[in-house]
Amino acid sequence: QPSITILAIESSCDETAAAVCTDGKILSNIIATQKVHEQYGGVVPELASRAHMENIVPVVDAALKKANITTAAIDAVAFTQAPGLIGALLVGSQFAKSMALALNKPLISVHHMQAHVLANLLLDNPPAFPFLCLTVSGGHTQIVLCESPTQMKVIGETIDDAAGEAFDKTAKILGLPYPGGPLVDKYAKEGKAIYKFPEPKIDGLNFSFSGLKTSILYFLQNAGKSNVYKEEYIATEAERKAFIEDNLYNICASVQERIISILMNKVKLAVKQTGINRVCIAGGVSANSGLRTTLQQTGEQLGWQTFIPAFEFCTDNAGMIAITAYHKFLANDFAPLSITPSASSSM
């Protein structure tokens, strides 16, 4: 059988990424992270589109060079079609379509959230089907039941903020730069989870994180004297700043512990309800060291098989787009050159 080589492009948010894979093996995985957004405390869509325009050709070129191939070796071009920032998606999709046309090769459209799930297939020992995946990113929090590379269904999701947003908003409240998730993770390692933030009571497999943000705001508004808040104790700005400075590590550890417990309790329920005990994690928040350790320990305790992608395939990357596209190629699932991206889309 001839081998299948795919060039994949990811541009849904603030990373411009390209990867090459041959027969499901990643030969290169190049990511250009956009720094321009840091000073704004969040991704600025217009600036993201412009940065993708600057980055896309050099990033694709680097991916081909690293894989040691020329465009002549490409059998199909894949791109992220949805969901994401529309201007950002347009840059990657337009580039991929042009390249497919120029090379006279098929085009493959990929759903970003499905790709996060299938990042687990890049492991040396990938999960057998069916498996459950907790996908936790800056925009999504989902429990996905994955029956095959091309069949998956969301069985639980957030009704408000995503887990990554909970990390990022906490970081913002604490005065840390965007994206704050990795910093909260780093500081949590130095602290103890001594503050007990409430766990929301949501039925079934859905999540909620907006209440956590509110309770952190209240907690800081009265400089940690939560019990005093009801009597409307409002700390001065100086008091608040000093409290955060003195307790930063413990606050981060406490928030992180609560986010993890919210996630893990629902995963435990999903295992119970489905009877499937192969559990994966995916998405930017799966880079969180506390979540990775907790999943592994919970798996050992409860007899699950657990799977965690390598760091480079957790946050946004094109390797996950490539592996998803490879399975679509095998299923003869190609896209017309007239396809357009969309900002939102169900799986």
Residue ranges of the annotated binding site for substrate are 135-139, 168, 181, 185, 288
Q: What is the CA radius of gyration of the chain?
A: 21
The residue among 26 and 184 lying less far from ligand KG4, judged by its C-beta, is: 184
**Smallest separation (angstroms) from Zn ion to the CB of 259:** 17
C-beta closer to ligand KG4: residue 106 or 138: 138
Nearest 5 degrees, angle CA 87-CA 89-CA 91? Answer: 75
Sign of the dihedral through C-alpha 109, 111, 112, 114: negative
Which residue's CB is nearer to Zn ion, number 137 or number 141?
137
Among 10, 14, 165, 316, the residue binding Zn ion under the rule CB under 5 A is 316
Extract the tokens encoding 31.
Answer: 């990511």
Nearer to ligand KG4, 100 or 117 (CB): 117
- Nearest approach, Cβ of residue 307 and ligand KG4 (Å): 17
Phi first, then psi, for residue 317 (nearest 5°) are -160, 165
Cα–Cα distance, 157 to 101 (Å, whole number): 37
- Sequence-distant (6+) residues with CB within 8 A of 33 are 14, 15
- Two structure tokens written together for 334: 């190609």
Q: Which is nearer to ligand KG4, 31 or 223 (CB)?
A: 31
> Closer to ligand KG4 at the Cβ: 95 or 187?
187
Q: Which parts are annotated binding residues? A: 112, 116, 135-139, 168, 181, 185, 288, 316
The reply on whether position 165 binds Zn ion by CB under 5 A is no
Say which entry of Zn ion, ligand KG4, none residue 215 contacts (CB below 5 to 8 A, set by partner kind): none
Task: Report in angstroms how near the CB of residue 112 gets to Zn ion at its nearest.
Answer: 6
CB closer to ligand KG4, 167 vs 326: 167
Nearer to ligand KG4, 5 or 120 (CB): 120
Nearby residues of 261 by Cβ (< 8 Å), 6 or more positions away: 199
Contact 200, 212 (CB under 8 A): yes
> Least CB distance from residue 124 to Zn ion, whole Å?
23
Binding mask 135-154 for Zn ion (x = CB under 5 A): --x-----------------
Summarize as ranges the residues that interact with ligand KG4 (CB under 6 A): 13, 137-139, 164, 167-168, 179-182, 185, 283-285, 287-288, 315-316
Binding-site entries for Fe cation:
112, 116, 316
Q: Provide DSSP, 140-152.
A: -EEEEEEEETTEE
What is the closest distance, in whole angstroms, from the C-beta atom of residue 35 to Zn ion in the complex? 18
CA–CA separation, 151 vs 20, rounded Å?
Answer: 23
Please, what is the minimum distance in Å from the beta carbon of residue 316 to Zn ion? 4
Q: Burial, 51: exposed, middle or buried (Cβ in 10 Å; 0-12, 13-18, 19+)?
A: buried
**Partner whose binding site includes residue 179, from ligand KG4, Zn ion, none (CB under 5 to 8 Å by kind):** ligand KG4
Query: Of ligand KG4, Zn ion, none, which one does residue 109 interact with (CB within 5 to 8 Å by kind)?
Result: none
**Nearest-5° Cα angle at 135, 131 to 136:** 155
Of 2-10, 20-28, 85-93, 309-317, the window that binds Zn ion (rule: CB under 5 A) is 309-317
Least Å distance, CB 82 to Zn ion, is: 12
Q: Which residues, in sequence order, are CB contacts of 72 under 8 Å at separation 6+?
A: none
Burial of 309 (0-12, 13-18, 19+ CB in 10 A): buried
| Among the listed residues 115, 97, 166, 143, the one whose alpha carbon sits nearest the alpha carbon of residue 13 | 115
**Pick from ligand KG4, Zn ion, none: which does 167 bind, CB < 5 to 8 A by kind?**
ligand KG4
Element (H, E) at 64: helix 45-67
Q: How far is the CB of 158 from ligand KG4 (least distance, A)?
A: 12
